[in-house]
């Protein structure tokens, strides 16, 4: 590992790992709920009878926004599920690029992240 990597930082404590596991599980549940709502909304928008009050322009705009939000929610859910599976790996919480420890506060805010703030900004 290069100089300044995880071997020179601190590893995640057991209590932090448990807290993060709970956070990830809660966020997965929340995102899956959001996905279900968005999928239901997409069904309603595709049902011609339920959108008669909308103009074509409004319909296209609503569909596009919903599809984008649904896609983003599914991507985030996949990342959270991946984080959940890898949380016990020794390199979990280490920046993919610079190999430094990602601060625990950042992981709590964005448990699916694989980059530290510095590398994210680059």
Domains of the chain, each with CATH number or no CATH = 6-121 (1.20.120.910)
Angle between helices 56-86 and 14-46 (to 10 degrees): 160
- Above 80 in pLDDT, residue 59? no
Q: Could you tell me the pLDDT band of residue 56, with boundaries at 50, 70 and 90?
A: low
Nearest to 18 by CA among 95, 104, 94, 82: 104
At 94, is the secondary structure helix, strand, or coil?
A: strand
Residue 79 has pLDDT above 60, yes or no: yes
pLDDT by residue (tens digit) across 92-105? 999 999 999 999 99
Q: What is the pLDDT of residue 3?
A: 39
Listed residue (60, 11, 7, 26) closest to 34, CA to CA? 26
Mean pLDDT over all residues of the chain? Answer: 84
Please state, in angstroms and as integers, the Cα–Cα distance from residue 13 to each residue in 18, 34, 88, 90, 98, following that order.
Answer: 9, 31, 11, 12, 21
The number of beta carbons lying within 10 Å of the beta carbon of residue 38 is 19
Q: Is the pLDDT of residue 22 over 90?
A: yes
pLDDT of residue 97: 94
Mean pLDDT over residues 55-74, rounded?
79
Phi, psi at 102, each rounded to 5°: -80, 130
| Region at 47 (left for phi over 0; alpha for psi -120 to 50; beta for the rest) | beta
Distances (CA, A) of 116 to 29, 50, 93, 95, 110: 25, 45, 9, 5, 11
């Amino acid at each position: 590992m290069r100089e300044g990597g995880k071997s020179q930082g601190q590893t995640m404590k057991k209590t932090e790992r448990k807290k993060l596991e709970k956070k990830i599980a809660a966020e997965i549940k929340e995102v899956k709920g959001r996905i279900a709502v968005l999928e239901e909304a997409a069904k309603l928008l595709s049902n011609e009878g339920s959108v008669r009050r909308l103009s074509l322009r409004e319909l296209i705009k609503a569909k596009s926004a919903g599809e984008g939000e649904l896609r983003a929610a599914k991507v985030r859910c996949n990342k959270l599920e991946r984080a959940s599976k890898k949380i016990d790996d020794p390199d979990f919480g280490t920046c993919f690029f610079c190999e430094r420890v990602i601060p625990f506060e950042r992981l709590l805010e964005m448990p699916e992240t694989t980059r530290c703030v510095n590398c994210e900004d680059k």
